[in-house]
Structure 1
């Protein structure tokens, strides 16, 4: 048995005498050198990338992601790319896109197809002399959805080219939505997502009693221009409007028109959304932009308890059926927003400033006074059923001739032609048919002169503005004051789009049917089920 060396040099000499160990030692030295070089060059590459490449990431939940995706879909460079994703998504906009050849002819009748970068694939393009690498990725964001990100790598020494690209994308997006109102809603992740764009509605298309439109619009415009005035006096920079009244009286349409006039986006707060609670509501309101409209529709129906006092008073001593209790329990489990949580979100310490709040309700008396006080709902406006003034204005809005229509002289206009009843087969059939037709399914179909197809009515010379004003007064005389909603009147006139005289002739009969239907609904609502 050999002698074990007792000093280090002799120990190393003994170990190196083994050939296998010498080879492992060489590999260790070479591997360490290679790893050192790899790390050095990796750090050098990262340094070069940091100095010469801009790395940008856009999150799907952010508005800038929509700007960039909209901008990329309009780039002609995608027509030469070999790997693409074909999408009909318009990101809430209706601006012309870089479409597939042949799509221009079908753009008015179908959803257009656009080119977009495919997921998990890198693409390159040139932008103002700078090389750009684009990558879309998708990652799991919980159980129910995936989340997309957009990564851009730009070969540039400074951020100026990135700023130009972002401003170009933003301006292109804003130009495409110039005539629209963006509508946002919260998703399951409690982030605001753009869901659609609505065309801006001209203020003159909203027919209300004199002074109401001007009051709301001027007050909202004055509020947006008074930030310094509020700050100097220590008043929270918030404004709330409560629009109440009969259904179909124009509350939501007025809000849409104000949003278009002021250039504001609309953020819908659905208090009855499943999973909504006080903390979620406060978080959503705190994330609102400084200049926007927050909309709470039908706020009286958003709660089962805590905000509506009438239901408790009316049903305090009545036993509740089992099915009703189950439905109530499901609703309470779905939404856990309380009145105190709503009040705190509206004007608490974490409430967002700069926003305009619009709330609508059909039952003003059912709201808690704490919700309606100034500071939360500063201006209360009642929207009533149609007045004579509104009826006349709506008639003019439907039939007043446009600039491109040929107008007949007043002396030549009479009760003939396209403006009067057409003795078509459809008309004769509707007049000969009984008032209702009961099928085997129990459905009831009401028939009247208004059921005539618009296409079956001949188009003739448009009546003059003076004649339309005279007919509008006659139509207003046939409609009772404050009995019918503007939505019902609009639905009625839609059946007479090219027959203004028939609309007047058939109005009394239609009014009687409306009264009968309202009476039937009231009787049905007032009938309690037998035990």
Structure 2
């Protein structure tokens, strides 16, 4: 009996190999979610007798392309608060549902071809479900299955439009991977108010780096195609905002990585960098807070603040920089032999003078940009940006410009951060005259007595 059954199965497998084509999709790859999303949009999913209802795709164990599948709410600026708020709260309680076929086989037609969709679970661990999908068609060519997958990828990516996709590093069990955590509206570069020339210069450098000619030149010369940037300066000067605006301008995803995680190891860090896509922005925020300081510099030598200088230091290769990460491990993923190419690395720091020179040397950080306190021109620009009408083409702005000039004369030059400036102007967002009138008391704006008096 056993021999007969085995013989029949072998015959079936042999025949199948000649008459059907199959593509398997695994849960640890983003194409899994792309096909699942495409399946959920097909009519046969809604008519299936056994379905799974979901509000978002969330691969608990591995890669996640989980982003809200809700459509962006339409906003009526003329609607009163109570009415608008009730609508928004009502929508947030009832999320759109996507239906996908349950485990088992589902047959459907795609471009005249009969396709079998099979969904099954590998293992029975309820806490960490592991699923696989197979797509099968008749014939030895899998071209039609490839077309289906490509269509699914296009449909999935079309949801993002020109928005900025944010990923963050997550750990599930012993593994580290990237999980999609947000889909944000693009931030316009002109909305980030910093010193003149910095934005355009940085954008031009990154566009040059991503241009086909540059990529070709790097390959021909045998140079690794990588670029690094250090944004440093006091808190609230727009470092992270500038990074998000650049990502929106270049239509690149951002991969957020914290070096302070206690469970992060050199191996986990290397795995995350290995899994980065070809073109993206990797953002390491507040790297000075992770302990990457000049502790390796001999205390008998003076500290230098010229980040590009190559000074002699006393080095301990396994000095930890945050959690279980060593400095050597961080340096290896940035520009080691196996370091990924094509990515843009942006680090931010409030105290770049404390960073280890090995981290900030040329080749790892190609240029340093200091974002400072607001000068007179920035103060004026902030004022105009806050109060200028959205449609200002036919509006006389002479009065507002006069107020902006007087406001810029009132605020101390390079003593307040852009974040403080924005907070102050938002407080008086309906009255530029009142913002100017009370600007004389700016240094005491956040004092306890002033808060009470308001």
Q: What TM-score bracket applies, with the shorter chain setting the length?
A: 0.7 to 0.9
Q: Find the partner of 1:377 among 365, 383, 388.
A: 365
Count of residue pairs brought into register by the alignment:
400
Q: Within 2, Cα distance between the matches of 1:141 and 1:219?
A: 51
Mapped contact 1:61–1:192 kept (Cα < 8 A): no
**Are 1:210 and 2:196 an aligned pair?**
yes
Q: Within 2, Cα distance between the matches of 1:284 and 1:371?
A: 19
Q: Find the partner of 1:292 among 280, 302, 306.
A: 280
Larger Rg: 1
Instruction: Give the deviation of 1:186 after TM superposition.
Output: 2.5
**Are 1:498 and 2:430 an aligned pair?**
yes
Cα 1:215–1:271 change in 2 (3 A) is same
Q: Within 1, Cα distance between the matches of 2:244 and 2:152?
A: 26
What pairs with 1:189-200 in structure 2 (closer than 5 Å)? 189-200=175-186
Q: Which 4+ stretches in 1 moved above 4 angstroms?
A: 93-97, 105-108, 138-144, 310-313
What pairs with 1:477-488 in structure 2 (closer than 5 Å)? 477-488=409-420
Mapped contact 1:298–1:362 kept (Cα < 8 A): yes
**Are 1:472 and 2:404 an aligned pair?**
yes
Q: Find the partner of 1:81 among 37, 44, 48.
A: 48
Mapped contact 1:119–1:135 kept (Cα < 8 A): no
Mapped contact 1:310–1:366 kept (Cα < 8 A): no
Cα 1:156–1:251 change in 2 (3 A) is farther
Structure 1 gap ranges (5+): 1-30, 98-104, 314-331, 410-463, 518-531
Cα 1:212–1:127 change in 2 (3 A) is same
| Cross-structure match for 2:388 | 400
Mapped contact 1:53–1:157 kept (Cα < 8 A): yes
Q: Within 2, Cα distance between the matches of 1:473 and 1:141?
A: 68
Q: Find the partner of 2:166 among 161, 180, 183.
A: 183
Q: Within 2, Cα distance between the matches of 1:485 and 1:140?
A: 54
Structure 2 gap ranges (5+): 58-65, 73-86, 300-319, 449-454
Q: Within 2, Cα distance between the matches of 1:211 and 1:311?
A: 34
Mapped contact 1:119–1:138 kept (Cα < 8 A): no
- Using structure 2 for the length normalisation, give the TM-score: 0.79
Q: Within 2, Cα distance between the matches of 1:62 and 1:139?
A: 15
- Using structure 1 for the length normalisation, give the TM-score: 0.68
| Cross-structure match for 2:133 | 150
Structure possessing the higher relative contact order (Cα contacts under 8 Å, 6 or more residues apart): 2
Over the aligned positions, Cα root-mean-square deviation in angstroms equals 3.1
Instruction: Give the deviation of 1:476 after TM superposition.
Output: 2.3
Q: Within 1, Cα distance between the matches of 2:138 and 2:88?
A: 39
What pairs with 1:111-510 in structure 2 (closer than 5 Å)? 112-117=95-100, 119-139=102-122, 145-188=128-171, 189-225=175-211, 226-303=214-291, 307-309=293-295, 335-403=323-391, 464-510=396-442
Instruction: Give the deviation of 1:333 after TM superposition.
Output: 11
- Give 3-state SS (helix, strand or coil) of 2:407's partner: helix
